[in-house]
Amino acid sequence: MFFMFLALCLMLAIRPETASAAGGSISVNGTDILSAPDHQVSCGSGTAAYDPDTKVLRLDDAVIGSTAGSAVQYGVEITEPGVTVELIGENTINAHFGIYSEQPLTIKGTGGRLLINIVQDPSIPGNPCRGIYAKKGGLTIRDTDIRLTTGTITANSAYAVDSWGGDNQIINSTIRIAMQPLKDPDESCTGINIPADGANVLTVTGNSSIIMESLDRGISSSGDITISGSSLSIKDSSSFAVVAGNTMISNGSRLDISAQDGQALQAAGKKITISHSSAALVSTGTNGIFCSDLEIIDSSEVDVKGYWPALFVDSNTVIRDSSVNAVTSNDVGIFCKGPAEITDSEVKAVSGQNKSGLRILGDLAIKDSDITSSGDANNNSISAAGSISITGGTTEIGEGGIASEKNIHIGGVILSNGKPSYDNIQNGSDDVTFSEADYSAVDAAVKKAEALKKEDYTNFETVEEAVQAVVRGKLFWDQDVVDGYAAAIEAALAALNPVPPTEQISYEITEGADQTVIKNGDSSVTIRVNGDFDKFVSVSIDDSEVAEEHYTAVSGSTIITFKPEYIQTLTAGTHRVKIHYTDGLAQTSLILQADEDTEEPPVDPDGDPSDKPDEDPSDQPDNDPSDQPDNDPSDKPDNKPSGTPDDKPSDKPDDNPSVDPGDQPSSNPSDKPTNAPDKKPSSQTPNTNAANQKAPKTGDDLPTIWLLALAFSYVMIRRSRRSGEVEN
């Protein structure tokens, strides 16, 4: 009997449950949902149901925990890995631990919301209360609305959201947290706590909104925080508001944070970046911002207030293209231990005690910015242990001054209570320099004036006077005077009156007019004009100016010679040539022939028979009388006496394309025929007669044409001789 009892106890002790097969358990309101019928548990008027296939625990209008104020330890307890809690309708959990998971957890909404009332369970004293607790981190909240509140908390800390490491995300969700501040150095109420060391991060994206009030600490993270396109509001945390590692606020995010004893935004030893976002940060007990490196960039707007320096930066500060209003009640407005750069920004740094608005222990560079910095006779408004450079913009220093332990360079307007003042600027070595005024507009106007010719205008002396009035070397505070120089020159240029145009002279081409040239690579072209060489300006062909390296121009009166290599670049055909003078021009034409278009046999201009075609009858066509035209006088044209205009045959065919009437041989037997032109090709005008043009067909018929011409010449000579014999 005893052994049966032991066996029964052992069976009960090791009784397998449904969850054990999956490696974990899920309980809702104290009931194991994995072993419940259909994996479903009634929760007040709603239900909790679990789908083992998808590992989704669905809360549908569920009410979990006591509604009478007493609490259960766990509203939902999960040890099963990979579980997602899905919210449908209005759900409420009243518990010491609202949702507890030993594994990474996802909570998402499907049109549903969740209210977690964190109620302390007296049965577990010393164990902090938690609304959502991810014991191993990796918490994701997406597409939902969650509210977390606390009742009376005593002798215990409380965390609305507590995730111990990993990658934690809030996406497209609204988180509202309202707690009871304990104001106890050992116990506190914290909105979001991510305490584990390592690569743990918190990312808030997708137009999410986190709203916290009535607590001791807002967000406490040992890892990095990124808030992108979302908002964070923390109202009057009794300690600090946000403490984290590297903190990035970007993409139109909005921060409205206030803290009492601690910093509003702290990244000790890390970097805070505010990019294209707005932030209102207030600490009534210490700094508004405290970090190692600070960047406020890309049109951000930051309003920060503190009891000690509103901005306290251990290393580098960059403010670019943004607006910063830093006000402190009991210290300097902005304090930076390293270099600081302010560019294209508007910065107001004010101390309620008239201490320095800007105190930099490194170099300070201010460029194109508007600065207002507090100070008085006993406190410099701007001071730096390194060099100070202020260029562009306007800097208001009130009753204070500008001081540096190194160099100071000023190139921007310095105001003392609204009036320009450069007296209260000092450094240890009196090495203070000032920028010169910008003369770029003056230089541009002078360049315009120098490009004009005085003789072309009737009142150019007004421009000369305006240019001569320019005084160089003025400093930047006289920029309006320098701008006036540029305006005066531009006004004088605009008022110029051109000299009325005079009548242009038409000069005469005395040599080389309308000449024809063959493009053979060796031909140059020379044109003489009767214009005065002293008035010569340029040459153009087809209205395009010819570069000077393509021709020579010498006096006598003006002789222009185009170089052969330039002639070779022109296309065949007719070109218009103009020689320009200050008071006129000469015009002519230039005809270019391609080399193959003018291939003709060489001709001796003196008519040496040795250069003429060989007239040996043996080399000429067959002269058998039977093959020649009938030379009977009765068949010949009327032959008038030699020397009269009518000596040429009148019955010559008109349609012979190889012979032009003007090229027929003389009737004088002593005149031998020639087939060469009277002038050399480089100086003759193109012959438009059909006999001198190539046949419009493919192939070279030149030998055939020459044979026909020789035959015809031979016949005409024979006729001429016979005619002479008859007359004799």
Shared-domain flag, residues 61 and 172 = yes
Shared-domain flag, residues 46 and 157 = yes
Answer yes or no: is 109 within a domain: yes
Note the pLDDT of residue 582.
87
Is residue 69's pLDDT more than 90? no
What number is the average pLDDT over the span 665-669? 38
Which of the listed residues 430, 464, 494 is the one where a domain comes to its end? 494
Q: Which amino acid is at 393?
A: G
Shared-domain flag, residues 612 and 590 = no
Answer yes or no: is 268 within a domain: no
**Is the pLDDT higher at 499 or at 615?**
499
Is residue 523's pLDDT more than 80? yes
Shared-domain flag, residues 529 and 656 = no
What number is the average pLDDT over the span 25-33? 95
What number is the average pLDDT over the span 259-284? 97
Answer yes or no: is 632 within a domain: yes
Shared-domain flag, residues 450 and 474 = yes
What number is the average pLDDT over the span 177-187? 83
**Is the pLDDT higher at 613 or at 71?**
71
Note the pLDDT of residue 617.
37
Note the pLDDT of residue 706.
39
Return the sign of the alpha-carbon dihedral for residues 407, 412, 418, 421: positive
Answer yes or no: is 529 within a domain: yes
Confidence category of residue 599, pLDDT binned at 50, 70, 90: very low
Q: Is 506 helix (H, G, I), strand (E, B) or coil?
A: strand
Burial 137-146 (b: 16+ CB within 10 A, else e): bbbbbbbbbb
Confidence category of residue 180, pLDDT binned at 50, 70, 90: confident
Answer yes or no: is 434 within a domain: no
Shared-domain flag, residues 127 and 162 = yes
Shared-domain flag, residues 513 and 483 = no
Note the pLDDT of residue 714.
58
Residue 475: other Cβ atoms inside 10 A: 15
Shared-domain flag, residues 619 and 569 = no
Note the pLDDT of residue 298.
98
Number of domains in the chain: 4
**Is the pLDDT higher at 235 or at 693?**
235
Instruction: Please tell me whether the overall predicted TM-score, pTM, comes out greater than 0.75 for this model.
Output: no
Residue 329 dihedral angles phi and psi, to the nearest 5°: -90, -20
Is residue 539's pLDDT more than 70? yes
> How much of the chain, in percent, has pLDDT values that exceed 90?
67
- Cβ atoms of 400 and 408 within 8 Å: the answer is no
Q: Look up the CATH number of the domain holding residue 526.
A: 2.60.40.10
Answer yes or no: is 679 within a domain: yes
Cβ neighbours of residue 251 closer than 8 Å, sequence gap 6 or more: 228, 229, 275, 276, 277
Shared-domain flag, residues 618 and 588 = no
Is residue 48's pLDDT more than 70? yes
What number is the average pLDDT over the span 608-636? 41
Note the pLDDT of residue 627.
44
Note the pLDDT of residue 708.
57
- Among the residue ranges 180-189, 547-556, 647-656, the one predicted with the least confidence is 647-656
Shared-domain flag, residues 469 and 509 = no
- Cβ atoms of 486 and 467 within 8 Å: the answer is no
Note the pLDDT of residue 691.
35
Note the pLDDT of residue 286.
97
Is residue 469's pLDDT more than 80? yes
What number is the average pLDDT over the span 334-339? 97
Pick from 74-78, 147-151, 152-156, 654-658 the range whose average pLDDT is largest: 74-78
Residue 149 Rama label (left phi>0; alpha psi -120 to 50; beta): beta
Note the pLDDT of residue 277.
98
Shared-domain flag, residues 538 and 630 = no
Note the pLDDT of residue 672.
39
Confidence category of residue 120, pLDDT binned at 50, 70, 90: confident
Which of the listed residues 494, 517, 539 is the one where a domain comes to its end? 494
Cβ neighbours of residue 643 closer than 8 Å, sequence gap 6 or more: 668
Cβ neighbours of residue 408 closer than 8 Å, sequence gap 6 or more: 387, 388, 389, 402, 425, 426, 427, 431, 432, 433
Which of the listed residues 564, 595, 626 is the one where a domain comes to its end? 595
Is residue 507's pLDDT more than 50? yes
> How much of the chain, in percent, has pLDDT values that exceed 70?
77
- Among the residue ranges 251-255, 256-260, 403-407, 633-637, the one predicted with the least confidence is 633-637
Give, rounded to a whole angstrom, the gap between the first and last alpha carbons of the chain.
Answer: 180
Residue 602: other Cβ atoms inside 10 A: 8
Strands 90-101 and 113-118: parallel
- Among the residue ranges 282-296, 579-593, 640-654, the one predicted with the least confidence is 640-654
Note the pLDDT of residue 70.
56
Note the pLDDT of residue 155.
67
What number is the average pLDDT over the span 383-397? 95
Answer yes or no: is 543 within a domain: yes
Is residue 349's pLDDT more than 60? yes
Confidence category of residue 677, pLDDT binned at 50, 70, 90: very low
CA dihedral 117, 119, 124, 130 (to 10 degrees): 40
Mind listing the pLDDT tens digit for each residue in 236-257? 999 999 999 999 999 999 999 9
Token pair 């918490």 in the structure block, residue: 139
Mind listing the pLDDT tens digit for each residue in 422-457? 988 987 666 899 999 999 999 999 999 999 999 999
Is residue 640's pLDDT more than 80? no
Answer yes or no: is 270 within a domain: no
Domain range for 723 is: 605-727
Task: Give me the chain's average pLDDT, please.
Answer: 82
Shared-domain flag, residues 609 and 584 = no
